[in-house]
Amino acid sequence: MSEPASISSGIAERYAAAVFEIAQENNALSELETSIDGLGAALADSAELVDLINSPLISREEQGAAISAVAKKMGVQDVLVNVLGLMAEKRRLFVLPQLIEQLQAMIAENKGEVTADVTTAKALTKTQSEKLAKTLAARVGKDVKINATVDESLVGGLVVKVGSKMIDTSIRSKLASLQNAMKEVG
């Protein structure tokens, strides 16, 4: 891991631990989860928001006011709005994506959930996603939350990653192994 990345994750871990602890004390973990999911979606959808949290040209005060206004407009939990303001004041908003990841992981662990990264050639239907989650839950022994992405280069099948385990049943990987087998023969 590169040094800047480890520094960013260290900063994010400390902020996440504080926010999680406060939310847990106030029995507000479900509200925190909703707020975090909303912030994550906003970051994914808005290039302007990403520019806001990463730009060194925007003053601390402007960053703080802007991120607080956005968070309040979204209905983000008060403790998280306050932390975002503090992060802007300390020029730490650049770690917001890592903060969101850390909090999602902490909330999932608290709920006894595990996240499965699923890559498919075509988007999963709701029924397929639910069936896959049930199948994985039976295997893993915990509730499974599906994080689905689409990669058309898989041709068909799917790639599932849960923790350190990966299952690749894609046609692309089967074709690659067949190609390797044919090279060995010739």
**pLDDT tens profile 118-132:** 999 899 999 999 999
Identify the domain boundary among 46, 76, 109: 109
pLDDT digits (tens, 9 = 90+) for 69-102: 999 999 998 899 999 999 999 999 999 999 998 9
> In the predicted model, what is the mean pLDDT of residues 166-183?
87
Helix (H) or strand (E) holding 74: helix 60-74
Nearest to 31 by CA among 107, 89, 99, 85: 107
Order of strands across the sheet with 158-162?
143-150, 113-120, 158-162, 165-168
**68 and 9 part of one domain:** yes
Q: Alpha-carbon Rg of the chain, whole angstroms?
A: 20
> In the predicted model, what is the mean pLDDT of residues 139-143?
86
Number of domains in the chain: 2
Give every CB contact of residue 53 below 8 A, 6+ residues apart in sequence: 43, 63, 67, 93, 94, 96
- Residue 4's pLDDT is 60
Q: Is 80 exceeded by the pLDDT of residue 55?
A: yes
Confidence band (pLDDT; 50, 70, 90) for 1?
A: very low
Nearest to 90 by CA among 57, 70, 63, 69: 63
> In the predicted model, what is the mean pLDDT of residues 94-111?
90
Domain with 104, as residue range(s), is 3-109
- Average model confidence (pLDDT) for the chain? 88
Identify the domain boundary among 109, 135, 151: 109
> In the predicted model, what is the mean pLDDT of residues 4-32?
87
- Residue 109's pLDDT is 85
